[in-house]
């Protein structure tokens, strides 16, 4: 475009209003929607790509975390078997026959019988003492005692290693740490997703508003020029005011002002010529002629048009 | 830069030449066009760059995790060192390829987008340029015929308003010129019949001559 000419009009303050933001729907929406649509497309396309890679990374990291070895809990089924000092002779089992004297009470080794020769209560007694208490003193093997019609099995408590508690704590600490890591990875993946969605929404809304505002700075001057064009079409050549601050198409507007000024000048030239003819006709005594009256009417119309 | 309004003056008898788009004329209003092109292009570049970096970061994190696990697995076996290095270099080259691919896509996007936007904004700048040319002609008092916009141009509504105004002003100016011409003829005829005094007659003659010249010039500008 050619260089602008100096402004000739005055300055009248028109303020922008949100209500008037969309004044040229076709132009403004086309450019804004293109911008918003493209950004949405980019964010969605690349966002899906980002999420795919993030899923892949999370899966790899989770597998890595799951593969991290934790200290194991020691197995409690192991029993320290101490060989007996000397093997006991095998006693053949004999069933009591009628007429036999009752067998004397056998005093087995250890605490299977008390001082009165009566057998101990099995496992736990009424005082709540556990079997493990007695197990510390008893030989660590299963003892089967057959006493006439009853058979009693005494369980052997496993041996608890000295660092058992430490190892259990270490195991579960490690397991919990790994779980926390996996949880953190999953949360990281979700954070990426939410950040993408939030950024996308903010960007789309922000761009839509900015796009409308930006195109409004072009549509505004066009709207203003359109109003003047309508007036010029109806034969009214009002004063042309300046654009608002921040409006675009300043050079274009200057072109319009020069055109407007040119048309006004045409009218003024006509007025000057017509006035001269009317004055000369009146001076010559021909002021009453219908042609001169027509010229007066034309003059009035032209003068009114540039008021 | 060619004048689109020149096409309004066809050689006698010949059809009006079609004004075609030229590559050299695509940047008609640098301020308007580059502003929009740069905004959209930079914005797209920033989105693509930021998300591309995020993709690369995630991909690199996955590769590093695999490399670390592999290193832990093969730590006790020296014979696996080559295998580990091979896998690591493979992953690194995959990541590099991803970066190149993203840069290529990004540059392609920016170039294609810029060209497309240049064409799109040209469809706005074109009509504005054409109207500006007509405004310049109007400023000089020349009110020729206004030709329609090219196919695909935007601001058709605005241009229709302009055309309507131009034709109305032209029609009014033409009617006024005819009326003035008729008035000059009638006054000359009346002057010949009437008995006007000497000085007044010469003044009327001079005024009518000037008006006749003015009308002739106006009619010339309206053609």
Q: Write out pLDDT tens, residues A246-268.
A: 898 899 999 999 999 999 999 99
Chosen from A44, A49, A50 to mutate, greatest number of chain B CBs within 10 A:
A50
The pLDDT of residue A1: 41
% of chain A with per-residue pLDDT over 70: 69
**Higher pLDDT residue, B16 or B134?**
B134
Q: Is B47 in Cβ contact with A39 (below 8 Å)?
A: yes
- HEC sequence for chain B: CCCHHHHHCCCCCCCCCCCCCCHHHCCCCHHHHHHHHHHHHHHHHHHHHHHHHHHHHHHHHHHHHHHHHHHHHCCCCHHHHHHHHHHHHHHHHHHHHHHHHHHHHHHHHHHHHHHHHHHHHHHHHHHHHHHHHHHHHHHCCCCCCCCCCCCCCCCHHHHHHHHHHHHHHHHHHHHHHHHHHHHHHHHHHHHHHCCCCHHHHHHHHHHHHHHHHHHHHHHHHHC
Residues 64-83 of A with CB under 8 A from B: 64, 67
The pLDDT of residue B174: 92
Q: B138 at the A interface (CB within 8 A)?
A: yes
Q: B172 at the A interface (CB within 8 A)?
A: yes
pLDDT at B144 over 90: no
The pLDDT of residue B20: 64
pLDDT averaged over chain B?
Answer: 84
CA-nearest residue of chain A to B154? A27
Which range, of A40-44, A60-64, B71-75, B88-92, averages the lowest pLDDT? B71-75
Residue A258 near residue B140 (C-beta atoms within 8 A):
no
Residue A67 has its nearest CB partner, among B55, B69, B165, at: B69
Mean pLDDT of B24-52: 85
Nearest chain A CA: its distance from B132 CA (Å)? 6
Q: Please write the tens of the pLDDT for every residue from A130-181.
A: 444 444 455 556 666 666 666 667 767 777 778 888 989 999 999 999 999 9
Alpha-carbon distances of A33 from A37, A198, A283, rounded to whole Å: 6, 19, 68
Contacts of A261 in chain B (CB under 8 A): 139
% of chain A with per-residue pLDDT over 90: 34
Nearest chain A CA: its distance from B48 CA (Å)? 7
% of chain B with per-residue pLDDT over 70: 87
Q: Is B155 in Cβ contact with A259 (below 8 Å)?
A: no
Alpha-carbon distances of A305 from A8, A149, A297, A299, rounded to whole Å: 18, 135, 12, 10
Confidence of residue B17 (pLDDT cuts 50, 70, 90): low
Q: What is the ipTM of this complex?
A: 0.79
Q: Please write the tens of the pLDDT for every residue from B104-140.
A: 988 998 899 888 889 888 999 999 999 999 999 999 9
Mean pLDDT of B185-192: 83
Beta-ladder partners of A152: A145
Q: How far apart are CA A238 and CA A222, in angstroms?
A: 17
Q: How far apart are CA B102 and CA A42, in angstroms?
A: 13
pLDDT at B67 over 50: yes
Q: Is B32 in Cβ contact with A249 (below 8 Å)?
A: yes
Q: B206 at the A interface (CB within 8 A)?
A: yes
**Which DSSP category does A23 fall into?**
S
Confidence of residue B58 (pLDDT cuts 50, 70, 90): confident
The pLDDT of residue B135: 95
Q: A194 at the B interface (CB within 8 A)?
A: no
- Number of neighbouring beta carbons within 10 Å of residue A188: 16
Q: B216 at the A interface (CB within 8 A)?
A: no
Q: How far apart are CA B43 and CA B48, in angstroms?
A: 9
The pLDDT of residue A180: 94
Residue A280 has its nearest CB partner, among B55, B120, B204, at: B204
Alpha-carbon distances of A240 from A88, A243, A252, B96, rounded to whole Å: 128, 9, 14, 61
pLDDT at B65 over 50: yes
CA-nearest residue of chain A to B164? A233
Alpha-carbon distances of B104 from A42, B111, B121, rounded to whole Å: 15, 11, 25
The pLDDT of residue B197: 61
Mean pLDDT of B154-177: 93
The stretches in chain A having pLDDT less than 50 are: 1-9, 90, 106-136
Reference A105, options A92, A122, A117, A116; nearest CA is A117
Q: A227 at the B interface (CB within 8 A)?
A: no
Residue B211 near residue A273 (C-beta atoms within 8 A):
yes
Token digits of residue B96:
């590099």
Q: Is A53 in Cβ contact with B59 (below 8 Å)?
A: yes
Residue A259 has its nearest CB partner, among B48, B138, B164, at: B138
Contacts of B191 in chain A (CB under 8 A): 284, 286
Q: A286 at the B interface (CB within 8 A)?
A: yes
Q: Is A1 in Cβ contact with B28 (below 8 Å)?
A: yes
Reference B162, options A217, A256, A145, A263; nearest CA is A256
């Amino acid at each position: 475009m050619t260089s602008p000419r100096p402004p000739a009009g005055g300055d009248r303050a028109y303020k922008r209003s949100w209500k008037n933001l969309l004044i040229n729907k076709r132009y403004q929406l086309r450019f804004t929607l293109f911008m918003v649509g493209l950004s949405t497309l980019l964010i969605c396309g690349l966002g899906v790509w980002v999420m795919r890679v993030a899923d892949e990374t999370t899966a790899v990291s989770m597998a890595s975390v799951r593969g991290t070895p934790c200290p194991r809990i020691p197995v409690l089924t192991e029993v320290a078997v101490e060989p007996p000092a000397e093997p006991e002779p095998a006693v053949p089992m004999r069933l009591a026959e009628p007429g036999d004297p009752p067998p004397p009470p056998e005093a087995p080794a250890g605490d299977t019988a008390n001082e009165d020769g009566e057998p101990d209560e099995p496992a736990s007694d009424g005082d709540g003492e556990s079997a493990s208490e007695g197990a510390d003193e008893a030989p660590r093997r299963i003892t089967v005692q057959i006493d006439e019609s009853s058979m009693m099995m005494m369980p052997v408590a496993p041996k608890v290693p000295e660092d058992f508690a430490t190892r259990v704590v270490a195991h579960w600490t490690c397991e919990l740490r790994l779980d926390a890591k996996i949880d953190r990875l999953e949360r990281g993946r979700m954070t990426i997703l939410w950040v993408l969605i939030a950024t996308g929404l903010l960007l789309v809304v922000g761009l839509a508003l900015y796009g409308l505002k930006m195109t409004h700075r072009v549509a505004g001057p066009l709207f203003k020029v359109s109003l003047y064009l309508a007036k010029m079409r109806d034969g009214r050549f009002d004063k042309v005011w300046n654009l608002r601050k921040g409006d675009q198409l300043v050079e274009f507007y200057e072109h319009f002002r020069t055109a407007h000024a040119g048309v006004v000048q045409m009218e003024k030239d006509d007025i000057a010529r017509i006035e001269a003819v009317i004055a000369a006709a009146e001076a010559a005594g021909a002021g009453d002629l219908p042609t001169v009256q027509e010229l007066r009417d034309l003059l009035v119309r032209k003068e009114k048009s540039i008021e | 830069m060619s004048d689109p309004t020149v096409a309004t003056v066809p050689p006698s008898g010949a059809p009006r030449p079609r004004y075609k788009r030229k590559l050299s004329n695509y940047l008609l209003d640098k301020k308007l066009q580059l502003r929009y092109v740069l905004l959209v292009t930079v914005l797209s570049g920033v989105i693509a760059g930021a998300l591309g970096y995020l993709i690369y970061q995630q991909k690199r994190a996955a590769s590093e995790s695999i490399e670390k696990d592999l290193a832990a697995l093969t730590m006790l076996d020296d014979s696996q060192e080559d295998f580990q290095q091979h896998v690591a270099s493979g992953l690194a080259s995959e990541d590099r390829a991803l970066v190149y691919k993203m840069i290529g896509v990004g540059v392609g996007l920016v170039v294609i987008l810029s060209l497309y936007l240049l064409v799109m904004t040209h469809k706005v700048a074109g009509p504005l340029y054409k109207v500006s040319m007509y405004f310049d002609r109007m400023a000089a008092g020349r009110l020729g015929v206004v030709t329609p916009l090219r196919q695909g141009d935007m601001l058709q509504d605005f241009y229709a308003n302009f055309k309507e105004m131009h034709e109305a002003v032209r029609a009014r100016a033409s009617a006024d010129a005819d009326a003035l011409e008729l008035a000059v003829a009638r006054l000359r005829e009346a002057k010949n019949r009437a008995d006007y005094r000497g000085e007044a007659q010469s003044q009327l003659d001079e005024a009518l001559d000037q008006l006749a010249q003015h009308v002739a010039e106006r009619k010339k500008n309206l053609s």
